[in-house]
Amino acid sequence: MKENHRKLSASRINISELMLPSHTNFSGKIHGGHILKLMDQIAFASASKYSRSYCVTASVDKVDFLNPIEVGELVIMKASVNYVGNSSMVVGIRVTAENIQTGKVKHCNSSYFTMVAKDGEGNNVRVPRPILTSLEEVRRFHNAIKRIELKKERNEHRETFDHTTTEAIESLKKLNITVELQ
């Protein structure tokens, strides 16, 4: 194996945690903030394990809470680095919840955390180049590239879109939105 290369499989981490009443929100379901905290922790662990560096969260892509999590369910999180840049890594996370009495498992959410490797002074650190060892890793890597490209396109659109034009204002009025500029 090449010296500054590492298998993506080295980043795989699974954690599980029993959901307790102290994790609930006002409606009695597990609080989304608690799940996000666990997701951030596993993203850190996965990226740090791969890069062998301290890592920080740079961004979190869309998180859709697909199914509520109940008290007493076992939350299982699986994470792995899906993409590697120079100092950044995209960590894919899948969250499921298992009813430990019935064995029924439901998908609760999936998300992508961009993590950046840092040194002791807070400077970015170059991470090992990836070695892909399965077609699943190849698929995930390509999908990450596509998401990065789409994100750049969205950001360019935001930077170039002129919301002050007559056309922009009229498009809002077509949506039955009242615009009263002062």
How far apart CA 33 and CA 160 sit, in angstroms, is: 33
DSSP 22: G
pLDDT in tens, 106-121: 999 999 999 999 999 9
CATH number of the domain residue 101 falls in: 3.10.129.10
Task: Give residue 37's domain range.
Answer: 5-132
What pLDDT, on the 0 to 100 scale, is given for residue 170? 86
Number of separate domains in the chain: 1
**What does the pLDDT read at residue 116?**
98
Question: For residue 166, what pLDDT is reported?
Answer: 85
CA-CA-CA-CA dihedral for 96, 97, 101, 103, to nearest 10: -10
Whether 161 maps to a domain, the answer reads no
User: What's the pTM value of the predicted model, to 2 decimals?
Assistant: 0.86
Q: Is residue 142 part of a domain?
A: no
In which residue ranges of the chain is pLDDT below 70? 1-3
Asked whether residue 96 is domain-assigned, the answer is yes
Domain presence at residue 177? no
Residue 119 lies inside a defined structural domain of this protein: yes
Answer yes or no: is 98 within a domain: yes
Going by C-alpha positions, the residue among 110, 118, 62, 60 that lies closest to residue 90 is 60
**Residue 51 has what pLDDT?**
97
Q: Say how many C-beta atoms besides its own lie within 10 A of residue 48's C-beta.
A: 17
Cα torsion 149, 153, 154, 158: sign: positive
In a domain, 149, yes or no: no
Look at residue 158 and tell me if it is in a domain.
no
- Helices and strands, number each (H, E), in the chain: 3, 7
